[in-house]
Copies of this chain bind each other. A is one copy, B any other.
Amino acid sequence: MATKTITVEGMSCAHCKQAVESALTQLDGVSSANVSLEQGNVAVDFDDNKISHSDMAEAIEDQGYDVK
Contact = CB atoms under 8 A, between A and B. Distances in A.
| Copies of the chain in the assembly | 2
A68 B10 CA distance: 25
Contacts of A16: 13, 15
Interface in A11-31: 12-16, 19
A10 B19 CA distance: 18
A12 to B, nearest CB: 4
Nearest to A63: B15
A64 interface: yes
A10 B12 CA distance: 10
A18 to B, nearest CB: 8
Contacts of A19: 15
